[in-house]
A and B are shown apart, each in its own frame.
Chain A
């Protein structure tokens, strides 16, 4: 066979193994348990099926005026209805984006930009110290003052400090619904009522990216003006997200282009991706109750098992704090999480420390630091996140591999 440049730069994919006879879920060889659902969850079968026609023949630009365009538009508008229903909004309130980070950026910058287009200087952004970088970096680059409200040792925003950060000049308040590292649920209703009272002209945004798989976002985010979600966290494809822009919330586009999404986000739609996101939203909405119950019981068993089997391990979030069902976060004293993750990876366990930069390098998490976790404990952090496809066997694999890995690191 003639080797081409293309072979050199696109090596054949490694062999993949079928994991279970029940589904199409595939992992690279050697993977025994995937506990990193908060990083990315597997595609739901319904999402795959909804996307397939758009990957295997159907195509078209939804903005056109002919039959091919109309077919694509039908798919986009169908997706819009489904996502609107899942978020508790009207279809016209849904702005599709290229993922959660873009939705967060549009929320923060879009509100401030609207002020500027109207000739006003926008006021401060009030957010929390434990937001995802998508929000923190958006706020820090927006050219206004940023007030980061501290959290307690429980990883929940301090409402007194929050209230004192507010004043009538505030333009944007952004408080996440579920923290992406430790899984704590933030008191969004209280945040909203304090905001309405003390900063009545502020727009309230919530990053619901990690909440979507676990909470009824229709209820939980009802008080927010802007709600961000990302499809791949709940069984949709990567690179697709949405920002719900409720009612008359002022928002200017940050990517203008051809005026798509009612002039709030330019660019041709990712039709396949949107169809996949909508199907995933519908599927998870229908199953959430059962899925959450199953995940919660496995999570609780995993936590109890680890606390029992690993000396010096403690849950980063104190017992009794409300957390999303899929999250288990530990600090293991005397162990460096970077080394631990290498040994877990060797053992076929996919886990995370909770915070990594784009290079994959771990750093002491700003979330843990904000919670007041001592740095030496924060450097031994381990995040295990479960999903609907997590099995009892996965839990057993971790309970087998983790104590062995910790013992090996402590022995040397």
Chain B
């Protein structure tokens, strides 16, 4: 097969290319330049392109650079900023996968005549086992490094031409393979953060260059002022730290969390851990790998990239399968608006959508 491997310059995609080349595929590497801002520790700095190119060269592969930075700005960075300005907590890596890696990149690969694309994600694509069966997406072999959460938007069209060669390996095995092949990325540290937030100041520093951040008042349920925060746009429901240090006003040992964030009114409301609990989460813009779960089906639900899945039931709330809610088996912490909610059947990704921020109240 002719395979185009998306090579970020990290060890996982290096080994993806290595495994495909070893398997005898006709492999070409390509690095997407995504973030056009000042180079940070992110996935698109020149040093990373050089690493990807050196690995490709080591493997005897042709390597190209695709500049998708204006599409990245429009489809990932600007919505990220707008969501934060509206008080939501988006996941830009999900948006990048949806709009860049599995849209622009796949399109480019098709145009160039490739049969498949590959990435270095830790997840597994399972082929149909017979007529009438479908392509499926499951967690990677290394549960601690599993990235199926950020791939939940993949449908049949994408999965049928996607290879995830490192999904069968643990991270340790990936590094060992890279070292055995003499790849310069073998000991390269994992990327830690969103590529465009790696600069000094992190998320707050970045957002501060894009939108006006407003100070907010921190209050308790009775409306008494407890303190202030510098930027109400940066407070997420469930957050405990950095809330204007109201500890002195609270009884010792009592933990307080942001239970409500009103960006327009510049008010953050604190409450105890019990006030953070919800019976479930409302989901919008849902998409499904094969088909939506049945109404009432028991699912595992993951609401952050590395969070543990919680058991619950799926209940569609509209005529289409794009909206619904998950009702937890037992009340669980509220999910911030904008977060991806991904549904699993054991290790299989069923699909997912976006948390609306509206808590499901106990029935």
Contacts and interface: CB of A to CB of B under 8 A. Distances in A.
A343 interface: yes
B113 A408 contact: yes
Nearest to B63: A360
Contact of B49 (A9, A360, A362): A360
**From B36, B60, B65, B184, residue with most partner A Cβ within 10 Å:** B65
B112 interface: yes
B178 to A, nearest CB: 12
A11 B108 CA distance: 31
Give the interface SS of chain B, mostly helix, strand, loop or mixed. mixed
Given A358-B46, A359-B33, A342 B58 contact: no
Interface in A355-412: 357-364, 408-409, 412
B3 to A, nearest CB: 14
A409 B111 contact: yes
Given A8-B182, A9-B182, A11-B58, A361 B111 contact: no
Interface in A335-360: 336, 338-339, 341-343, 345, 357-360
B62 A359 contact: no
B49 A339 contact: no
Given A358-B46, A360-B49, A361-B65, A342 B112 contact: yes
B111 A412 contact: yes
Contact of A361 (B60, B66, B110): B66
Given A11-B58, A362-B67, A363-B69, A339 B112 contact: yes
Contacts of B46: 357-359
Contacts of B64: 338, 341-342, 345, 360
Interface string A305-344: 0000000000000000000000000000000101101110
Contacts of A336: 108
Pick the most buried of A360, A362, A409: most chain B CB atoms within 10 A of its CB.
A360
A361 to B, nearest CB: 4
B184 to A, nearest CB: 8
A359 B49 contact: yes
A27 to B, nearest CB: 15
B47 to A, nearest CB: 9
B182 A361 contact: no
Nearest to A412: B111
A358 B111 CA distance: 25
A13 to B, nearest CB: 11
Which of A14, A336, A359 has most B Cβ within 10 Å? A359
Contacts of A361: 33, 49, 65-67, 69
A361 B182 CA distance: 26
Contacts of B53: 360
A44 to B, nearest CB: 28
Interface string B61-98: 01011110110000000000000000000000000000
B183 to A, nearest CB: 9
Nearest to A30: B62
A244 B111 CA distance: 48
Contacts of B49: 359-361
Contacts of A358: 46
B283 to A, nearest CB: 35
A339 B33 contact: no
Interface string A10-21: 010010000000
A21 B113 CA distance: 35
Contacts of A342: 64, 112
A8 B58 CA distance: 9
B67 A363 contact: yes
Interface string B20-34: 000000000001010
Contact of B110 (A338, A343, A363, A412): A412
Interface residues of A, number: 22
Interface string B303-318: 0000000000000000
A359 B50 CA distance: 7
Contacts of B108: 336, 338-339
Given A9-B182, A361-B49, A361-B67, A339 B62 contact: no
B30 to A, nearest CB: 8
Contacts of B58: 11
B112 to A, nearest CB: 6
B220 to A, nearest CB: 51
B62 A338 contact: no
Nearest to A375: B70
Nearest to B112: A342
Given A8-B182, A342-B112, A409-B111, A360 B69 contact: no
A408 B112 CA distance: 8
B62 A345 contact: yes
A358 B62 CA distance: 18
Nearest to A405: B112
Contacts of B57: 11
A9 B184 CA distance: 8
A30 to B, nearest CB: 9
Contacts of B66: 338, 361
A341 B66 CA distance: 11
Nearest to A11: B58
A343 B112 contact: yes
Nearest to B59: A11
Contacts of A362: 65, 67
Contacts of A359: 31, 33, 46, 49-50, 65
Contacts of B184: 9
Contacts of A341: 64
A343 B114 CA distance: 11
A364 B68 CA distance: 11
Given A359-B65, A412-B111, 19 more contacts: A11-B57, A11-B58, A14-B60, A338-B66, A338-B67, A339-B112, A342-B64, A345-B62, A358-B46, A359-B31, A359-B33, A360-B53, A360-B65, A361-B33, A361-B65, A361-B66, A362-B67, A363-B36, A363-B67
Interface of A: 8-9, 11, 14, 336, 338-339, 341-343, 345, 357-364, 408-409, 412
29 contacts: A8-B182, A9-B182, A11-B57, A14-B60, A336-B108, A338-B64, A338-B67, A339-B108, A342-B112, A343-B112, A345-B62, A345-B64, A358-B46, A359-B31, A359-B33, A359-B46, A359-B49, A359-B65, A360-B49, A360-B53, A360-B65, A361-B65, A361-B67, A363-B69, A364-B70, A408-B111, A409-B111, A412-B110, A412-B111
Interface pairs A-B: 6 shortest CB-CB? A8-B182, A361-B67, A361-B33, A360-B65, A359-B49, A412-B111
